[in-house]
Amino acid sequence: MPRNVLDIIDLSVGEIDRLIATAEDIEANPEKYQDVCRNRQLATLFFEPSTRTRLSFESAMLALGGSVLGFSEASSSSTTKGETVGDTIHTVSCYADIIAMRHPKEGAAYAASQFSEVPIINAGDGGHNHPTQTLTDLLTIYREKRRLSGFTIGLCGDLKFGRTVHSLVNALSRYEDIRYVLISPEELKLPRYIKEQALKAQGIPYTQVSSLEDAISELDILYMTRVQKERFFNEEEYLRLKDSYILTPERLAKAKSDLSILHPLPRVNEISVEVDRDPRAAYWKQVKNGKLIRMALIMYLLNIQA
């Protein structure tokens, strides 16, 4: 059976720590890695739009000396002819050594894995999970703080539909001494099943608030997210909620001097561009980290050592 990453908990804490160490080594010694995936192919199957995730996967594989194939929209695949995800994956697993896929339906990556002979990486399944964004987030937090324990993290925005938030909560809950401040409007609170399984069952402290301003001074990390327009059933509700939080230099006045600000991107309006110049802004570093950790993950799943 191939090794898949469908959910962040498919990787143990020890494996995540090793991926982080590899990512740092890749950055320090890129030449050691430039050929390790020669003759290997990555397929990126994106049934839903993406900029960073798809391009970072592709750029990661190219930097390892491998090659890439795939599609960036469902409309250019046989999906439009009525082919099932299972048959598409079965086909692609005859050509590629590893597959990264994104799909608007929750559970699609799991379903795909039942038809694949090569590792499947979930690059986002609907409003459910996004494990490789979480690896990116963990690498970024580690590089900012040199630890993955002992902090208060504020998750702000669309905690209901934001799959990156769901995976991040599941990941961080396995580290020591983490406290969450869940900042969202009433309508976009973290789903109950995640609170029950990842927080309450393990006795992890959290508070739920609606004001970022009131919470900001206690945070070591602030994870901003966009309101997930494409998951709303009702446009009016989206329009009402979309600008619930906008981080500006003024609003950062009360924040700690060593706060780290993360955002999986794309940003819409949640962080004003002036904040990019603040030394606490880590989201552009996060983009670079996404490529490094995906390089480490591809090698790991293909059983390749440098």
Least CB distance from residue 264 to ligand NCD, whole Å? 4
DSSP 38-92: TT-EEEEEESS--SHHHHHHHHHHHHTT-EEEEESSGGGSGGGGT--HHHHHHHH
**Catalytic residue list contains 200:** no
Token readout for 49 is 């739009």
Catalytic residue among 40, 54, 102, 163: 102
**Catalytic residue list contains 128:** no
Interatomic CA distance for residues 277 and 280, integer angstroms? 8
Select 40 or 137, whichever has its Cβ closest to ligand NCD: 137
Interatomic CA distance for residues 109 and 120, integer angstroms? 7
Least CB distance from residue 52 to ligand NCD, whole Å? 5
Least CB distance from residue 133 to ligand NCD, whole Å? 5
Select 163 or 294, whichever has its Cβ closest to ligand NCD: 163
Which amino acid is located at 138 in the chain? L
Catalytic residue among 54, 130, 166, 263: 130
Least CB distance from residue 163 to ligand NCD, whole Å? 5
**Which residues of this chain interact with ligand NCD, rule CB under 6 A?**
52-53, 124, 130, 133, 163-164, 226, 264-266
Which amino acid is located at 155 in the chain? L
Over its C-alpha atoms, the chain yields an Rg (Å, rounded) of 19
Select 54 or 143, whichever has its Cβ closest to ligand NCD: 54
Select 52 or 285, whichever has its Cβ closest to ligand NCD: 52
Of 68, 73, 69, 70, the residue nearest 47 (C-alpha): 73
Residue nearest to ligand NCD (CB): 264
Least CB distance from residue 33 to ligand NCD, whole Å? 23
Angle CA(241)–CA(246)–CA(251) in degrees, nearest 5?
140
Interatomic CA distance for residues 253 and 35, integer angstroms? 47
Catalytic residue among 52, 90, 105, 189: 52
**Catalytic residue list contains 81:** yes
Which residues are marked as active site? 52-53, 81, 102, 130
